[in-house]
Structure 1
């Protein structure tokens, strides 16, 4: 059954896809922030839908740009990401069933931290990081990915510090997001969580995401992407704070 909450999620998905096309980030973070802040649906369902939409969005980009992927760093990152995804996904199942307040607190921290981290300037390294560091950041980011389908922050930080060409950084990140969400969706399927709510929400959001992406590419607004980026980061930070403060109060008071 299509509910007002699902319709709201579809609208947010379109806006998030438009922002991601204009700025290069935001799809997963915006969707999960809206789902958690307005209780549009259970967080595990929202994370699964977000995974499906990230796969859809990134696959359209990779079809044209996959040759720019830095294969060595991609492989080492995925080596750490796969076990991290399993850990995060298991944590989601446990927290969603027994500690929903803790889950919302973690989501608020992830969103707020991601917004602050993305806003910070990054100084490039003179030589590429070690293989082990890619695996470590892949593991850390993938725990977030398993929990909330948003594995970006640690991995984005790692890549933007590398002495790589910008095309290699962007395309490698897109390839990692695509691959990690494929693994995550496999975990969802193995656990039997493809229910009606997931299918209705994902199938309804897919054409909206594709349309918003096409519209942003072909009819960009007369506004600098940097301005859109700042607005999105401010809204994300405020959403994260709005999620974590009530959860922190509930935990400290024992209510």
Structure 2
């Protein structure tokens, strides 16, 4: 790879880290999207790098002082998401290509609708939702991660509608996605698919991720929760539209 490609890759990593530090999600969404558009690296290689850097981002963001977390919220979404990942991976092998395409299209439409609802319903709920809703949102997150590696929107939408502090929501999301990344890395290691080139790319970008995560934790930007919700809306809408665009060629080929 040329020096220019390395710099482009690090620029993509920096943008993804800033978005993740502000909202608690979208690191993989932004990095994968930018790399795909710029065509600087093979996407299969970047997917593994994302898992490694997601863990680094979590260490940089949640390190130091004890992070603000609500265990009553974290545990159900964490456990159900890990179960959902296993079910999603199984479903990926059990479903046919046409069914997967239709599911991708439906998911994209639902994500766009959810992003709109997030800003239309600008006020959070008056009281915390019941425990079953957190199990359901976490399970859907894991299921969609296993099927499409796009599990963020259900849990992001659910958490940002709760009467929780911004820091609690962000830290819960970062912890959840770090756990999912660790599970995916374990699978990659078990299959012997972790290559030297992937490790070098991760080692190159990891110091930048740790530095930016530490700076965001040390000098947090003064954003209102409303401003963060609008940023989340934009990222979720981008994810939904991306899934729809990916699904359309497959549907047009069939019909």
Structure 1 residue aligned with 2:207: 207
Determine if the alignment matches structure 1 residue 146 to structure 2 residue 134.
no
Q: Any idea what the Cα deviations from partners look like across 1:103-135, whole Å, max 9, x if unmatched?
A: 997997798678657655454333322222211
Q: Which region of structure 1 is more displaced relative to structure 2, 83-92 or 68-77?
A: 83-92
User: SS at the partner of 2:63?
Assistant: helix
Task: Give me the TM-score of the superposition, normalised by structure 1.
Answer: 0.73
Task: Provide closer, same or farther for how the CA distance between residues 158 and 23 of structure 1 changes in structure 2, counting only shifts above 3 A.
Answer: closer
Distance 1:189 1:115 in 2: 35
Distance 1:112 1:188 in 2: 31
Structure 1 residue aligned with 2:198: 198
For 1:31-180, what aligned pairs fall within 5 Å after superposition? 31-64=31-64, 66-89=66-89, 121-147=121-147, 149-180=149-180
Matched residue count:
254
Distance 2:138 2:123 in 1: 20
Q: Which region of structure 1 is more displaced relative to structure 2, 244-253 or 191-200?
A: 244-253
Structure 1 residue aligned with 2:20: 20
> What residue ranges of structure 1 are gaps of 5+ in the alignment?
none
Task: Provide closer, same or farther for how the CA distance between residues 87 and 113 of structure 1 changes in structure 2, counting only shifts above 3 A.
Answer: farther
Distance 1:227 1:166 in 2: 11
Q: Any idea what the Cα deviations from partners look like across 1:56-78, whole Å, max 9, x if unmatched?
A: 11122222354521112211112
Task: Give me the TM-score of the superposition, normalised by structure 2.
Answer: 0.73
RMSD (Å) for aligned C-alpha atoms? 4.3
Distance 2:109 2:40 in 1: 19
Task: Provide closer, same or farther for how the CA distance between residues 10 and 147 of structure 1 changes in structure 2, counting only shifts above 3 A.
Answer: farther
Task: Provide closer, same or farther for how the CA distance between residues 229 and 31 of structure 1 changes in structure 2, counting only shifts above 3 A.
Answer: farther
Task: Provide closer, same or farther for how the CA distance between residues 5 and 193 of structure 1 changes in structure 2, counting only shifts above 3 A.
Answer: farther
Task: Provide closer, same or farther for how the CA distance between residues 103 and 64 of structure 1 changes in structure 2, counting only shifts above 3 A.
Answer: farther
Q: Which region of structure 1 is more displaced relative to structure 2, 55-64 or 39-48?
A: 39-48
